[in-house]
Amino acid sequence: MILPGAAPVPGNVLLRRIVDHMFIDGSWDEARSGKTFEVTDPATGEAIGTVPDGSAEDALDAIAAADAAFGSWSTTTAQSRADLLYAAWQLMTERSESLARLMTSEQGKPLKASRAEVKYAADFLRFYAEEATRVTGEWLPSARADQRFLVLRQPVGVVAMVTPWNYPISMLTRKMAPALAAGCTLVLKPAEATPLCARAVFEIFEEVGTPAGVANLVTALDPKPIGEVFTTDPRVRKLAFTGSTAVGRHLAGVAAGNLKRVSVELGGHAPFIVFPDADPVRAAKGAAALKFLNAGQACISPNRLYVSEQHQDAFVSTLVDRVSKVKTGNGFEDGVGVGPLVNEAAVAKVAGQVDDAISLGAEALVGGRRLTDEPFDRGHFYAPTLLAGVRDDMRIYREETFGPVAPVISYGDVDEVLNLANDTNYGLAAYVYTNDFSTAIRAFEGLRFGIVGINDVNPTAASAPFGGMKDSGIGREGSHDGIAEYLETKLGGFAL
């Protein structure tokens, strides 16, 4: 399927020069200012679309629409909301191939990974269609014979959402689905790098009959004015944000200062621990599969690979073999495992960390450079890289990389490795390889991270809670915990 306004172009790209609109109060509109900005393919640098450059005034229009629609939407039956989400799941599933191709064009990830993300995104629609009918209250006992307590769970109200570019479809449905299931209305601002994917998701919600004002989309090149409106307008009762820790900390602080509900999923610096009893070859294969997913542009990507001294040779040699075979290129090419980074700033950040590590004694066993020859010269490509000899005085040991670089750290003291892993302000994901049950339990309990994969490099699902501790965020998405983030608890005391 080809998106409206698109025409086939070389390389299996499905779109060129799409002109988009924002979706406010059930209508597709231009920005009030009439301004637009271009969206480019990170693999080729080519412009693939134009979208409205919205302002604070556009955000206020969208909030007004969501506020006006809240009364009727919040009182619809849970079954009606479930039916809408089921319909959206079905339509997204039917359009999965066109959505995946759009994602690869706009975000750059290999087509296989884009297909997997669309399925993951659709899973949230289906899961929360089911959860919509499971929101319940409860009767509570009283010490008085003539008194009864009734607890209700009701929607919080208008929700402002800010979503990232690295997972431009699944991060939308992971927020939108539980909010709509709970009975909330919403205004969403997608990342400026990937607004076309957001447009495609909102087309689905429009086509399945979402009432006007219930779900609103505002695009903008400068997110600051939109964020200010989201965090200060009294009609917005909750902020849901995924992105960098610095921006999330600021937005959450302003929103909390205005007594809004907040859930933020922020950066990570995941440790990957290979214990002495583990199979180092199996662990290395898992690390290679996870580290280079989405070119390392994932908040749960492992950033510190701790390997026991006795396993270092086997682990590193397996990784060298695996990383050397990773093919970099345009996501539409067969066999590509690593696509482009999102922009020039991302490439510069990765290069800076790698150069710093090498200057301090680390060794690039594979990669270690930006790719600039044809056909990489027009895009934002960095070679899959394996660094050995990484120490705690190097920037890459402390900073989130968000790129295709695997830093290996050798350790000798098993009793100390958990302390090394916990020595970070982040607390999103961690990974452990061990064949000992006791070690697995101790690591699971001792690691101060919200998600821990034990011999598992994919500890995520729509039915599982996702979120972090410390500087990695507040709240959870996915599972029944995810819908709870959009519900208020109300108590009724009845005197008989």
- Give the start-end residues of each E strand in 412-486: 429-433, 451-454, 473-474
Token pair 């899973």 is at which residue? 123
DSSP helix, strand, coil percent of the chain (3-state; round to 5): 40, 25, 35
- Give the start-end residues of each E strand in 7-71: 18-19, 22-24, 27-29, 36-40, 47-52
CB proximity list for 305: less than 8 A, separation 6 or greater: 272, 274, 287, 291, 315, 406, 407, 408, 409
Q: Where are the alpha helices (DSSP H) in 150-279?
A: 170-182, 195-207, 223-232, 245-257
d(CA 450, CA 435): 22
DSSP three-state, residue 29: strand
d(CA 460, CA 463): 8
**Pairing mode of beta strands 451-454, 429-433:** parallel
d(CA 389, CA 409): 6
d(CA 112, CA 296): 15
CB proximity list for 377: less than 8 A, separation 6 or greater: none
Active site residues: 265, 299
**Pairing mode of beta strands 22-24, 27-29:** antiparallel
Burial zone of 63 (CB within 10 Å; 0-12 exposed, 13-18 middle, 19+ buried): buried
Between 312-324 and 280-291, two packed helices, what is the crossing angle to 10 degrees? Answer: 40
